Structure formats: structure tokens, C-alpha cells
Amino acid sequence: MGKRAYDSPLRSTQATRTRESIVEAARRAFVRDGYGGTSMASLAREAGVSRETLYKIFRTKPDLLKAVYDVAVVGDHEAVAVAERSEYTRMLADPDPEAAARTFGVLSAELVERIGPVLRVLAEAAHEPELQELLEATRAERLEGTRDLLVRLSGTAEGPALDRAVDVVWTLISPEVALLLTDQRGWTREQYGRWLGDCVAEQVKQLR
């Protein structure tokens, strides 16, 4: 019993490192070869693990892409949600809601720059039937986060006006819009951040 208790933290650390190395390898492979050009077998080789180990940790390729996306969103492997990160809590603590909304635009632009390569993988593979559940999950998460943000900044908890503002901001912060402006129209991160911040601030102003 004592030996198993002693070994458990070590096994846990090794399992965590293995998972992290798989996610990092998968990010490289997906960005380099695209979703369709990346197989679970090639991902196992990229990560230097057996296929059995890969499937034990990630059941499917969409599961692995979701893990890559989640790590890209927060910027590391720590299990701390964006809403609990210091930069986000500082933004919410701003006594000026419209200024906080503009800070949100800056933070969102930084996020888009960080996860841009992964967003492009998702955009290019959006037609894949096996990715529909993943896409719906990311959209639902973004919708929940948008509502929480607007409720906090505006002090409005419910109503048609809030519902409309949530729909507007949810659309504006979508990866599709971000990629259209940055990839297709050549906007810089700063331009996108200022524009998005102004748009969110306007929605907050209308709600207050």
C-alpha cells in the first residue's frame, strides 16, 4: 500500500507531461498538415507515443483538436478558465464599464493572434461531419461567456435588449469575423482590438 501511495504522484506527473506533449505535438501537426491531413497514427508518431497511449488519453481526433484549442485559448496547460485569469478579473474590476469593454477588445485581439493558427485549422475543416460537435461546443462556450460579460458590465440580468446585445457581441467576437478582418482585410491586431472594444462598449452603453 505504501509503495503505491508513493508512486501515485509520480505517475500522475508523468501522465500530465505525456498529455501536454501530445497536445503540443498535435498543435504542430494540425497547423502544418491541416485537420484532414493529420491522422491519429501520424499524431502518435509526432508525439513519440504509441497509438494505444494516444487513444487512452484522447478517444478521437476531434477530442484532441478540442484540447489543442482549449490550450491555445488560455495560453498554457493550467486548468484555469479565461474568466478566472488575472487580466480578465482586472478588466471586470474597472469602475468604468465602457473602458472595461474596450479592454476586452484588446484582450480578445491578443487571444485571436495567439489562437489564429488553430482557428484556421477549424475554419478549413468546418465541413467535416465529425467536427460539428466540437464547433457547436466552442460556439456554446463563447455564447455563455458573452452573456456573462455583458451582464457583469451592464448590470442587466435579463430581457430582450440583453438577448440582442449578446447575439451581436457573440457574432462580432466569432472566429469567422476575426479571420475575415485579419486574414482577408489585413487588419492588424491593434486595429481589430480597438474596433471590437468600441463595438462592445457601444452595446454596454445601450444596456445601461
Calpha distance 71→74 (Å, rounded): 6
Residue 1: predicted pLDDT: 45
Calpha distance 156→165 (Å, rounded): 11
For 1-60, CATH number?
Answer: 1.10.10.60
Residue 9: predicted pLDDT: 66
Q: Please provide the DSSP assignment of 101-123 as one string.
A: HHHHHHHHHHHHHHHHHHHHHHH
- Answer whether 110's CB lies under 8 Å from 167's CB: no
Residue 8: predicted pLDDT: 65
Q: Please provide the DSSP assignment of 41-65 as one string.
A: HHHHHHHT--HHHHHHH-SSHHHHH
Listed by start position, the domains of the chain span 1-60, 80-207
Walk along the chain (208 residues) and give the pLDDT tens digit of each residue.
444 544 566 667 888 889 999 999 999 999 999 999 999 999 999 999 999 999 999 999 999 999 998 898 888 877 777 777 888 899 999 999 999 999 999 999 988 888 888 988 988 888 888 888 888 888 998 999 999 999 999 998 889 999 999 999 999 999 889 989 999 999 999 999 999 999 999 999 999 8
